[in-house]
Structure 1
Amino acid sequence: MEESHIEDAETQNKLEVAPALISVHPSQKSVAVAVGSDLRVFDLIENCSVTLVDESDGSSHKDSIRAIRYGATGKLFVSAGDDKLVKIWSTDSWRCLNTICSEKRVTAVAISSDDSHVCYADKFGVVWVVELDGILEGKVSPSKKGAQLLSHYCSIITSLEFSPNGQYILSADRDFKIRVTVFPKKPLEGAHEIQSFCLGHTEFITCTAFVSTPEVTQGYLMSGSGDSTVRLWDITSGSLLDTCEVSTVAGHVESNESESPTQVTVTDICTIPNSSLAAVTVQSFQGIFLLSCDMAAHSLSVTKVINIPGESFIPTSISVSAATRLLWMVSGASNLPGSNHPGFSRVQVISCIETESSSILGDEHIPGGTKLLEQLQGKVPIEESVMSAAAEAVRAAMSSLLMKKQYSDEKREFRKRTRNDKKTTQ
């Protein structure tokens, strides 16, 4: 009975609910949304949908996309996920330049500021690196596999970031830690020098981002977690500079002091380029709030909360371009059990995010208008009840994935015997 129960759980994991993701070109030339295995891109310059050209074996993604990202220059775009594929795209032609086959499911990606390397992390805690120098000019032969850069030893890596100057690569995991590693001159030979560890979170880390200003170009690291906090770090020393508790601000903790505080998960952080501000999303909260970092005092504070009225819109991912300062948000999910909408998304945009006059744009005022929305979220209207169910499904899926499970000795031994990589062929 117990073994059957475990097998059922493992089968269900093959259809894990995946949140919708959004990423905006640094100059807002295009916007990309990923829902399940579907990658949708809209060209804001030509005001039309983009046709992706993928001539690699198997072409498009076959399973949920878990990470999408534009490079700092806007020339490259990367998508990766549960199908163990990492696809690197040219944003000029939207042709797939390279498809890398990962050994395990991919959980996070990062692109170096000079577009010379792509790093990706898998569910076993390994970070891999692919050398791309010359790929945009067709000077390199596409590789099929990355080289191992570093490892977190069987801890799911949830976020990857290059430091603003490219000196370090940061990897955060579900075991509450952030590793700061010196990015080597010869990455294909591995990264062997650890600069620091940022330790202080008490639950899994979900997201990281650098906040920097023209005066403080190296900036500081912000991290969000399942412990209801956003924390500020000096990555050189690994020092914790400040902690901002967000659940109270978001209204998730009751005023009754006899009740214990309820933890909520910070799901995404998006820093505003060349400013001390960052937008933050919190699980189950219908809106976003703005954090300000005092660079001199090394402190974090909530400066504004923006509620999204009228519909059950709980952002699952946010992004901003350096050019327009518009904050793009998406809400949605794929693989919803028992739903007529196996995968859907809803896109919203906030203007003037840094000012008191910030506002949520109507559909007709979003860049690209209804044409963009039809491409990124589909033509079928989504009921509020479905959006609410999706938000709860995403919350449960994230908790199941990142909360460390406790097993009895019997269950642990059974899981060891039935590991896929230990099964022998008859």
Structure 2
Amino acid sequence: MEEGLIEESESANACTDEAAPALIAVHPTESSVVVAVGSELRVFDLRGDSAVSPLDDLGGPHHSASIRAVSFSSDGELFASAGDDKIIKIWKTDSWNCIRTVQSEKKVSAVSISQDSQYVTFADKFGVVWIVSLKEDRDTKAVPILGHYCSIITSMKFSPDGKFIATADRDYKIRITVFPRNALKGAHEIQSFCLGHTDFVSCLAFVCSQDQSKGLLLSGGGDLTVRLWDYISGSLLFTCALADEAGNLEASEIEENDKRAVTNICASSDGSLIAIAVQSFNGVMLLSCDLLAKTVSFVKNVSMEKSYIPTSLALVSSKERLWTVMGASNLTSSDLTNNNQQLLTRVRIISFLRKDPLDSCSRDSALLEDSEVPGGEKLLMQLQGCLDAAAQEAAFAAAAAAVRTSLQNMMIKKQYSVERRELRKRNRNDKKIKS
């Protein structure tokens, strides 16, 4: 009887779709902007000042479940999207046509494109990193190249020189792997482990100055710190603890007993400007990184309206603009008809103006009004859903709660009794006797 109840509970939990946060990605030259929410890819071409509908002329399936990871290539010519439908799609950004659809065995948690745009790597929730070559035949399947031993991979980035791939997981680890010339045969050489976080690692970003090809690595996580690493040796260079800054936030901005965490990080190419999103904080925190002194320091909080808690960030160094989005895959407006259900998002942009043209660290920040956003009303109509202004605060408060719960469920390990653990093992699909 007890076993039947547990099985029923497990089955019910498995069928529950948790909210996926809305994601934003910006072309390296800011020629286009993409918002992913639920299974939708919303694209706006800033150069052509028009909305774009991604097409799949190959007849492959479009995303049918929440998109969990997106990435532009370093040259901006390719874009990859992946998620809970176990599908990875690679798009050409000049036409926004899909050039490859790859099937994954498990749900995808991270995706990245190699610096030479020859490979796409993706990570699944079992901690395995897979790779597919864009040089090979269209039907070439993905092959596994490395693994994190059953720990969810939360972030994956290629180093600026393309020689290494950094992967972070839920179990506090950052692994630096040498990216081999023949990657399809596996990435077997581990360069280092960056160990120091005391809670899950949620995000990674590389920074390097113009005279450096290697640079340094930034990471953020559930211990509310941003850490700076020499990733070649695995040495921790500096820890920027943000508990004091988060503690200064108003009580209304952080819910009681809420686990605060760095959920997203992005940086200018020279590291002089770092933006982070903190769970339940309605705004972003700005930091700066001194690559010579190898330090990271807090600069300021940029607060937004109370109902706006960013779920994803994208920084375009050349334009000195930080793009942010808020939304969740299960947030729709009750005002919309059943024939016009649309997932809701909100896009806000912070512009940075240099006080001193010779000092890259000397900046003023300004939160742009909707009328000042590049692309204006056309862009906002494409990237955001329809939402009555009076309902905005309540709707996005619900989105923030849904995303927070989803993040906690993914990042914080569930605790099971011995009996329940053994039952879960017996009910694994690969352990069941096939009739």
TM-score normalised according to structure 2 size: 0.90
Code of the aligned partner of 1:370 = E
Q: Which SS does the other structure have where 1:89 is aligned?
A: strand
CA distance 1:16–1:10, shift in 2 (3 Å) = farther
Distance in structure 2 (CA, Å) of the matches to 1:106 and 1:187: 20
For residues 376-415 of structure 1, the aligned pairs below 5 Å read 376-381=383-388, 383-415=392-424
Q: Which residue of 1 aligns with 2:84?
A: 82
Q: Which residue of 2 aligns with 1:328?
A: 323
For residues 2-21 of structure 1, the aligned pairs below 5 Å read 3-5=4-6, 7-14=8-15, 15-21=17-23
Q: Which SS does the other structure have where 1:230 is aligned?
A: strand
Q: For the Cα contact (< 8 Å) 2:312–2:324, is it kept in 1?
A: yes
Q: Which residue among 336, 359, 365 is the counterpart of 1:358?
A: 365
| Superimposed CA distance per residue, residues 57-116 of structure 1 (whole angstroms, 9 cap, x where no aligned partner) | 553100000001111000000000000001000000100000000010010011111111
Q: For the Cα contact (< 8 Å) 1:101–1:144, is it kept in 2?
A: no
CA distance 1:12–1:57, shift in 2 (3 Å) = farther
Shift of residue 144, structure 1, vs aligned partner: 5.1
Q: Which residue among 119, 128, 131 is the counterpart of 2:130?
A: 128
1:109 aligns with 2:111: yes
Size of the aligned set, in residue pairs, is: 415
Code of the aligned partner of 1:246 = L
Shift of residue 355, structure 1, vs aligned partner: 4.9
Q: Which residue among 219, 222, 233 is the counterpart of 1:237?
A: 233
Q: Which runs of 5+ in 2 are unaligned?
A: 336-340, 354-360
Shift of residue 163, structure 1, vs aligned partner: 0.7
Q: Which residue of 1 aligns with 2:428?
A: 419
Q: For the Cα contact (< 8 Å) 1:335–1:342, is it kept in 2?
A: no
Q: For the Cα contact (< 8 Å) 1:317–1:330, is it kept in 2?
A: yes
Q: Which residue of 1 aligns with 2:68?
A: 66
CA-atom RMSD in angstroms: 2.3
For residues 186-201 of structure 1, the aligned pairs below 5 Å read 186-201=182-197
Q: For the Cα contact (< 8 Å) 1:99–1:144, is it kept in 2?
A: no
CA distance 1:250–1:182, shift in 2 (3 Å) = same
Give the percent of matched residue pairs that are identical in Structure 1 and Structure 2: 51
CA distance 1:3–1:395, shift in 2 (3 Å) = farther
| Superimposed CA distance per residue, residues 137-182 of structure 1 (whole angstroms, 9 cap, x where no aligned partner) | xxx4213521111011111111111111111111110010000000
Distance in structure 1 (CA, Å) of the matches to 2:243 and 2:43: 33
Distance in structure 1 (CA, Å) of the matches to 2:349 and 2:69: 21
Q: For the Cα contact (< 8 Å) 2:333–2:344, is it kept in 1?
A: no
Shift of residue 334, structure 1, vs aligned partner: 1.0
Q: For the Cα contact (< 8 Å) 1:125–1:152, is it kept in 2?
A: yes
Q: Which SS does the other structure have where 2:402 is aligned?
A: helix
Distance in structure 2 (CA, Å) of the matches to 1:166 and 1:221: 14
Q: For the Cα contact (< 8 Å) 1:312–1:388, is it kept in 2?
A: yes
Q: Which residue among 138, 144, 151 is the counterpart of 1:148?
A: 144
| Superimposed CA distance per residue, residues 24-65 of structure 1 (whole angstroms, 9 cap, x where no aligned partner) | 000001000000111110000111110111134553100000
Code of the aligned partner of 1:8 = S
Shift of residue 278, structure 1, vs aligned partner: 0.9
| Superimposed CA distance per residue, residues 162-204 of structure 1 (whole angstroms, 9 cap, x where no aligned partner) | 1111111111100100000000110000011100000011111
Distance in structure 2 (CA, Å) of the matches to 1:206 and 1:153: 17
Q: Which residue of 1 aligns with 2:55?
A: 53
Q: Which residue of 1 aligns with 2:356?
A: none
| Superimposed CA distance per residue, residues 256-277 of structure 1 (whole angstroms, 9 cap, x where no aligned partner) | xxxx997511010011123422
Distance in structure 2 (CA, Å) of the matches to 1:253 and 1:413: 44
Code of the aligned partner of 2:260 = V
Q: Which residue of 2 aligns with 1:136?
A: none
Q: Which SS does the other structure have where 1:155 is aligned?
A: coil
Q: Which residue of 2 aligns with 1:218?
A: 214
Q: For the Cα contact (< 8 Å) 2:217–2:228, is it kept in 1?
A: yes
Q: Which residue of 2 aligns with 1:343?
A: 343
Distance in structure 2 (CA, Å) of the matches to 1:356 and 1:267: 24
Distance in structure 2 (CA, Å) of the matches to 1:323 and 1:356: 14
| Superimposed CA distance per residue, residues 325-358 of structure 1 (whole angstroms, 9 cap, x where no aligned partner) | 2110000101259977773211000111665431
Code of the aligned partner of 2:411 = L
Distance in structure 2 (CA, Å) of the matches to 1:321 and 1:393: 28
Q: For the Cα contact (< 8 Å) 1:21–1:317, is it kept in 2?
A: yes
CA distance 1:220–1:289, shift in 2 (3 Å) = same
Q: For the Cα contact (< 8 Å) 1:334–1:342, is it kept in 2?
A: no
Q: Which residue among 361, 369, 372 is the counterpart of 2:376?
A: 369
CA distance 1:196–1:11, shift in 2 (3 Å) = same
CA distance 1:10–1:221, shift in 2 (3 Å) = farther
Code of the aligned partner of 2:42 = R
Q: Which SS does the other structure have where 1:390 is aligned?
A: helix
Distance in structure 1 (CA, Å) of the matches to 2:130 and 2:142: 5
CA distance 1:261–1:366, shift in 2 (3 Å) = same
Code of the aligned partner of 2:272 = S
Distance in structure 2 (CA, Å) of the matches to 1:416 and 1:273: 45
Q: Which residue of 1 aligns with 2:178?
A: 182
Q: Which residue among 287, 295, 298 is the counterpart of 2:291?
A: 295
Code of the aligned partner of 1:227 = D
Q: Which residue of 2 aligns with 1:137?
A: none
Code of the aligned partner of 1:352 = F
CA distance 1:199–1:128, shift in 2 (3 Å) = same
Q: Which runs of 5+ in 1 are unaligned?
A: 134-139
